Amino acid sequence: MAKTEFYESAVKAGFYGVDKQGLFGKKDNVRKYWEDTCIKLSLRPLVENMQEDSNPLRVIDLGSGSGEGFDLLTHIPVSKISPEKNFIFSGKDLAYTGVDLSPGMVSQGRKNYAARPNVRFEEANLAEGFPLLNEEPFDIYFSSYCSFSHLSVSELEDISVQIFKHGKPGSLMVFDLYGRLSPEWPAYWAQNTEGMLDYTMAYLLPETERSSEKIDWFKVKFWTAEELRALVGRAAERSGRKVSWQCLRDRSILVGRHMDNTLFKSKLFYPRLELNKLFDRDYRGNPANLKLDLSYLEPFRESSVEAFERINAYNRDWNIVLDLLASLHSGDDGRIKQLIESTAPELSEELKMLTWLYRNAQRFPVVDFWSSIMGPQVACVLRNLEFNLPAGLGCGHSLLGIVSIS
């Protein structure tokens, strides 16, 4: 009988479990290829030349959880293609401190990065202020995935004042907050801007298990860009420091976590699931299912006309891409020509690229051209339409803002 010791060890280590797909869950394909990418591209021009010597950059991750921010920051691709270097920062280039309120998260983070002496975790309550005032300034005061939305307006303003005072010239502070004007929760558009509102992470549960007794609700602060700009202005004045906006961006306008349910809105559709399929190399997805009926937003238009128009303008460009795909499938060359010639130059170039790909499928020796080549490119085009929008309004699932301290 053949020896099986190696395989027994591999099974115990979890290498032979069922592969987890990227269609559902916390770390789905949209998280990886859309939302993480948004953060990385926003930070890249600001941090690429930050490390002037061999000393590691000091980074504090506020609301770090178990340290996913470290992995994100050490996987920001260099802007120029290089066979010698994939990412701006290696694991050794950062002196990373993760701060979180949860003892379990802090404990897990320490386990996750036990082999890295340059990574540490501290337990602290950010509602009580910046916890490391007695330490040297940090280069990056980082937050991600709406950790700051657990703070009230006054708490976020107070900790911002402390960070602006604590930072050095050139330090960055990253704000990541729930956007109040997202199409996921139009009933919140006109809500009290100072108060905390109900939120849930029930999207992590399978749809069949989202019963009322299994859904946990908690309070968070939703933000508009105008409110965030005002808070930063007040905090800068109180701190006596000058801060400059480097980035203000809406993230996941039509693919936010709650677009795929009716916990906050009346219409049910599944754009995030379809995008997860398009990004995946094993699923074709069906772009026709990405057609979104946003008429449910009409009663809320006057609460924020600018956000309403931004969302619908993005959706119109989104639908042009879907119209092109339908025309390619049907062989309607006249319609394809019309779409390419009648759209703005940036979108027109994307349509030309997709048309070329579709018409040259035979050039790609893959098992399934759509799932391997075409689908992921369609997903990237829809994503890039959002990335190229003007400064954020707070109409995405998240509002990402980055300021520099001087």
Q: Please report which confidence band the pLDDT of residue 1 belongs to, taking 50, 70 and 90 as the band edges.
A: very low
Q: Please report which confidence band the pLDDT of residue 83 belongs to, taking 50, 70 and 90 as the band edges.
A: confident
Residue 2 has pLDDT above 70, yes or no: no
pLDDT at 185: 98
pLDDT at 55: 87
pLDDT digits (tens, 9 = 90+) for 334-373: 999 999 999 999 999 999 999 999 999 999 999 999 999 9
pLDDT at 213: 87
pLDDT at 341: 98
CATH class of domain segment(s) 22-253+391-405 = alpha beta
What value does the mean pLDDT take over residues 219-236? 98
Is residue 180 within 8 A of residue 224, CB to CB? The reply is yes
pLDDT digits (tens, 9 = 90+) for 102-159: 999 999 999 999 999 999 999 999 999 999 999 999 999 999 999 999 999 999 999 9
Distance CA 336, CA 361 (A): 17
Residues 6+ apart with CB under 8 A from 178: 146, 149, 199, 220, 221, 222, 223, 397, 398, 399
CA 316, 319, 321, 327 torsion: positive or negative?
negative
pLDDT digits (tens, 9 = 90+) for 43-72: 999 999 897 777 899 999 999 999 999 999
What value does the mean pLDDT take over residues 265-269? 95
What value does the mean pLDDT take over residues 308-329? 98
Return mean pLDDT, the chain.
94
Of the chain, the percentage scoring pLDDT greater than 70 comes to 95
What value does the mean pLDDT take over residues 255-276? 96
What value does the mean pLDDT take over residues 37-44? 98
Domain ranges of the chain: 22-253+391-405, 271-387
pLDDT at 17: 61
